[in-house]
A and B are shown apart, each in its own frame.
Chain A
Amino acid sequence: MIPAMYLVGLGAILFCLGLVGVFTNKNGIIVLMCVEIMLNAVNLNFVAGALHYGDVTGWVFAVIAIAIAAAEVAVGLAIFLALFGDRKTIVLDEITTLKH
């Protein structure tokens, strides 16, 4: 069996990759994808925990998280579609309405 430490370490690396991706990418779609990576990193942690402790709760949480992530992606894409319809762009640096 793979030690839980490896799985958690992989989850942390994936999470950091996702985080850096969120910071550095300008394209909204890619940012959304990075968020997905972070969510899956968390799912990996849940699964690792479930394996390690032999507890089913972690799997249940992971399944719920996947379902919610799917819904979130749908909402996120819908927002970007609407944004593109309005602003003709989904480059995040050009959407600075909050500043003003």
Chain B
Amino acid sequence: MALDKLQERKFLFPILALLVGFPILRHYGGIMMTGAPYTAIDSAFLILLIPLLSFPVIAILGQWYVGEDFWRERFKEGGMIALGAMAITLSLTVWLAIQFFTKGGTCSDGLTLAKDACEAGGAEWIPALFAGFGNWFSFDVIRMQDGGSWALESDAFGIGMWIDNVSLTLLFVAAFLCFLICWFSLGYMNTDPINKDRNHRFYGEFVLFSAGMLGMVLADSFLWLFIFWEIMGLCSYLLIGFYYERPSASYAAKKAFLTTRVGDVFLLIGLLMLYDIYGSLDFAVVFDDPSTGVGGALVSAGAMKSAMLMLFIGAVGKSAQFPLHVWLPDAMEGPTPVSALIHAATMVNAGLYLVARMVPFFDVGHGGVEGIGDIGILIAWIGGITAFMAALIAFVQNDIKKVLAYSTMSQLAYIFTGLGVSLWLFNAGHHHAAAIAFGASMFHLFNHAMAKGMLFMASGSVIHEMHHAHHEAHHADGGDGDDETGHSDEAGDHDDFDAQDMRNMGGLASRLPITSTAMAIGSASIIGLPLIGGFWSKEGIVAETWAATAIYQETWLLVPAFLILLTAGMTGFYMTRMWMMTFAGKPKTEYAANAHEQTPWIPTPLVTLSIISLFGGITLAVLGATEWLGDGVELGHEIHAEGYVGALLGTISHAFLPDDFFIFIVTWTAIAISLVVGPAMAMKIHGGRLAKGETAPKTIAWILPLSTKFGKADVTELAESGLADALHRRLFFDEFYDALIAKTVIPLAAALAWFDKRVIDGAIKGIEWGSIRLSKDLRKLTTGSASDYILFAVVGGISVLILLWGVI
């Protein structure tokens, strides 16, 4: 074990050196080789290519060397290759980000939004700084012209890169979390006997997924976005079904794939509509004056609305929003690193990214299409409903990962609400408010990804240690435990112990100090504890939604505004409940009493992300991340103007003492219910001190006595009510879809199967049967008797003669 820790350190330093050294080497190496400095742009395509190429390497080497000692010990069954690829990707991303901020750019291309800010404010922009880098490959397309003729368009689709503040943020989130979660996987996946000799499959799919995510973020056209979007969908399917021998896992994988497929079909239709309108899917073409389509024709609001709606349905499927949300909780069947990476931190953000990319269409101040604000309201409604519904269902979940899954859904819905409001505001012409709402949403995306990725990893740590304790207990009993074979694990699973069930935990704060602290910080960030992580962005979303309702008088936004305000309190409840059930009170099983934090590779990412969750939010808020993301205002402009202290005080007073009295009330209501009402209720039900003699780490020790201050509430009656039952059954969505599918798709499929079997197969079988009969009949002519053959010859000859008679 100590050796493992040493090994972890051994890799930490080379990777840190790589992070710093690679850009420098590349830069100065370039100067020495060619005389011109290499920029991050020259290497940017490696961000995508390295993970993409690692995929076959890991998969093939894994097949060759599976089971061999050096592969298992040195390479961690491919984990080391994946980690190296992720480290290079991250270093390139960081280098790119640094150049983005430091190097002046041109204002010639890019988002209208960004371009405008660039021209107006002289901000240090490099939007679409890789315009010249545009085409690696290009494809020709045959397209029908007006009037029905076909013509070849050369270079209709090219692959290139598109970097602006939004894609850079997502790029960093994806690269950073891929790296940390890969690190975490080395501890989580490689120490579990059930994964033995098949981890190369995990790491291969992991890097392919990262290539998909990074490619989607970097794509400079909707077409490439869609292609990488589908690669992610595939990897999601493969990784959810990693434990394919479990029927529930393969069912969940199919469910996730098919549900997102519904959205993807709409997305594809939306893209075709966009192509029809603009004659291209490249961002540079589409975003350049979106109000005029191909040939200078004015784009009608109706056509644009339907295209936007289709795109949004695609986003709904990918980001697990109502009504296509049913796949996300089941997706927790995958290994925990997968849940952390794909179903919390990166892939589910793809839908948000797509909606964020819709901004230029809505921004009437910069050539957007007028009169499509309804779509923004629809997005806000879907967001509000999902946020509320998911939080409600999270109340009763006992599986630690399912609580987090519903929490993810709920927080993504917050971002959708913010984006919807922002789109509506853009379309109504309130540019500044819209930009703030947009920036707050994107900022929340960042905060949420960091916190939720960590929460999932922390839950993975809990599950891993619980599982380990359970395993050891069986070993000690002289049971069927045997570390060396996978069978012991299956045997262990046969008794009904569920390492993910929070009812089996309790009192883990003293035994898992790093995990419990990390989880407390992550929960605080998700709840929106003032000054920590998600607070800054969540307040922004809530405030802007209410501002759109009250100040800009859009009554249709009232319902989403109320729902997300209420959800703020509910978030406080379910996150606190989860933490209390897991870490507070006395151990509820012997396994919980024996769990210990002992697996290497797991704590490092937790600590890193704890620090980011704790300080990242406030740092970025002071730097003005919201304005930067929304409006392209230079980062740190307030610091330049007012100094560090002034900027800090300004940010805090802006958050807590908004100028508008109405927003002031909303802000404090949100803080009060999320910080006091929700957590207090959760503590009343689930709080409790640790067992005697146990001490929690100092950072969180104060929470435990506090949790007993509110007394105990007995909620048995409520827990057995119809409402709780409905929530346990996830508000009947699964039953409803099952019934719907049983009524529609299955009869249709049965009818098609009948058609296939009887008509199509029948036709083919008929041809087969007919030709057999015919050849049997024809065979009778083959008598074998020479005189018969002569007869045929003569009859044939006479026939030819008769036929020729007519001709001659």
Contacts and interface: CB of A to CB of B under 8 A. Distances in A.
Nearest to A96: B784
Interface in B763-799: 782-787, 789-791, 794
A92 B707 CA distance: 111
Contacts of B786: 31, 92, 95
A6 interface: no
A98 interface: yes
Nearest to A35: B790
Contact of A93 (B782, B785, B790, B791): B785
Interface in B295-325: none
Contacts of B794: 19
A68 B786 CA distance: 22
Contacts of B790: 22-23
Nearest to A25: B787
Contacts, number: 29
A26 B785 CA distance: 9
A25 B791 CA distance: 12
Contacts of A100: 784
A99 B791 contact: no
A23 B782 CA distance: 16
Contacts of A24: 787
B407 to A, nearest CB: 79
B324 to A, nearest CB: 67
A14 to B, nearest CB: 15
Contacts of B783: 96, 99
B779 to A, nearest CB: 9
Interface string A12-50: 000000010011111000010000000000000000000
Nearest to B779: A99
From B782, B787, B790, B791, name the one whose CB has the most chain A CB atoms within 10 angstroms.
Answer: B787
A31 B784 contact: no
Contacts of A99: 782-784
Secondary structure call for the A interface: helix
Contacts of B782: 98-99
Contacts of B787: 22-26, 31, 92-93
Contacts of A31: 786-787
A93 B791 CA distance: 14
Nearest to B787: A23
A25 to B, nearest CB: 8
Interface in A46-100: 92-93, 95-100
Contact of B784 (A22, A23, A98): A98
Interface string B213-257: 000000000000000000000000000000000000000000000
A93 B794 CA distance: 18
A22 to B, nearest CB: 6
Contacts of B784: 95-100
A93 B783 CA distance: 9
B389 to A, nearest CB: 78
Interface in B109-154: none
B392 to A, nearest CB: 81
B510 to A, nearest CB: 91
A2 B787 CA distance: 35
Nearest to A26: B787
A92 B784 CA distance: 9
Contacts of B789: 98
A22 B787 CA distance: 7
Contacts of A95: 784, 786
Contacts of A96: 783-785
Contacts of A98: 782, 784, 789
Contacts of B785: 92-93, 96
Best-surrounded residue of A19, A23, A97 (most CB of chain B within 10 A): A23
A97 B791 CA distance: 18
Nearest to B788: A23
Nearest to B786: A92
A97 B785 CA distance: 9
B715 to A, nearest CB: 89
Task: Find the residue from A25, A26, A31, A98 having the highest chain B CB count within 10 A.
Answer: A98
Nearest to B791: A23
A95 B785 CA distance: 7
Nearest to B785: A93
B15 to A, nearest CB: 78
A55 B729 CA distance: 110
Interface string B530-557: 0000000000000000000000000000
Nearest to B794: A19
Contacts of B791: 23
Contacts of A93: 785, 787
A24 B786 CA distance: 11
A96 to B, nearest CB: 3
A3 to B, nearest CB: 24
B594 to A, nearest CB: 82
A92 B789 CA distance: 12
B800 to A, nearest CB: 16
A78 B426 CA distance: 105
A31 B790 CA distance: 11
A47 B539 CA distance: 120
A71 B231 CA distance: 81
A97 B790 CA distance: 16
A27 to B, nearest CB: 11
Contacts of A92: 785-787
A100 B782 CA distance: 9
A33 to B, nearest CB: 14
A98 B792 CA distance: 15
A51 to B, nearest CB: 25
B48 to A, nearest CB: 67
A97 B786 CA distance: 10
A20 to B, nearest CB: 10
A95 B784 CA distance: 7
Nearest to A22: B790
B801 to A, nearest CB: 13
A29 B794 CA distance: 20
A97 B783 CA distance: 10
A19 B798 CA distance: 13
B628 to A, nearest CB: 89
A19 B785 CA distance: 15
A75 to B, nearest CB: 16
Contacts of A23: 787, 790-791
A97 B782 CA distance: 11
B511 to A, nearest CB: 86
A24 B789 CA distance: 12
Interface string B581-618: 00000000000000000000000000000000000000
Most A Cβ at <10 Å: residue of B783, B785, B794: B785
A92 B786 CA distance: 7
Interface in B733-790: 782-787, 789-790
A95 B782 CA distance: 13
B758 to A, nearest CB: 39
Interface string B555-595: 00000000000000000000000000000000000000000
A93 to B, nearest CB: 5
A29 to B, nearest CB: 13
Nearest to A24: B787
Nearest to B789: A98
A45 B794 CA distance: 19
A92 B790 CA distance: 12
A83 to B, nearest CB: 11
Interface in B657-693: none
7 contacts: A22-B787, A22-B790, A31-B786, A93-B785, A97-B784, A98-B782, A100-B784
Q: Which 5 pairs from chain A and chain B are nearest by CB?
A: A96-B784, A99-B784, A92-B786, A93-B785, A23-B787
Given A25-B787, A98-B784, 15 more contacts: A19-B794, A22-B787, A23-B787, A23-B790, A24-B787, A26-B787, A92-B785, A92-B786, A96-B783, A96-B785, A97-B784, A98-B789, A99-B782, A99-B784, A100-B784
